[in-house]
Amino acid sequence: MPIQVRIPAAISKGSHGSTTVEMKAANLSELLTALESMYPGVRKTICDDAGKLNRFINVFVNDEDIRFLGGEKCQFQDGDEVLLIPSIAGG
């Protein structure tokens, strides 16, 4: 099932801004595995030591926070748009 995933440069280590890729992933776990194969080492950036999504990475599916869609149990549908956003703080 193809989904559109927007990956900011801060996550992909790219220098040209956000990248949008189409990939097949049924859920967050499959998405993280696919991202790691595309961007080796990215899992360390977006996951904690237990392999779970880092609490400072926000995931939105069709503009809705994945936490309100079942979190890691959320199942993606054909054509979904998934956005990964790192939290930014400062003072």
What digits encode the pLDDT tens for the residues 40-63?
A: 888 888 889 988 888 889 999 999
Tell whether the model's pLDDT for residue 17 goes beyond 80: no
What share of the chain has pLDDT > 70, as a percent?
91
- Tell which CATH classification among 3.10.20.30, 2.60.120.330, 1.10.10.10, 3.40.50.1980 matches the domain 2-86: 3.10.20.30
Which residue is listed with tokens 């595309």? 38
d(C-alpha 19, C-alpha 22), whole Å: 10
> In Å, what is the CA distance from 56 to each residue of 11, 25, 85, 91?
12, 22, 8, 17
Taking the model in full, what pTM does it have?
0.84
Q: Where does the pLDDT of residue 74 fall: very low under 50, low under 70, confident under 90, or very high at 90 and above?
A: very high
> Which has more confidence, 51 or 17?
51
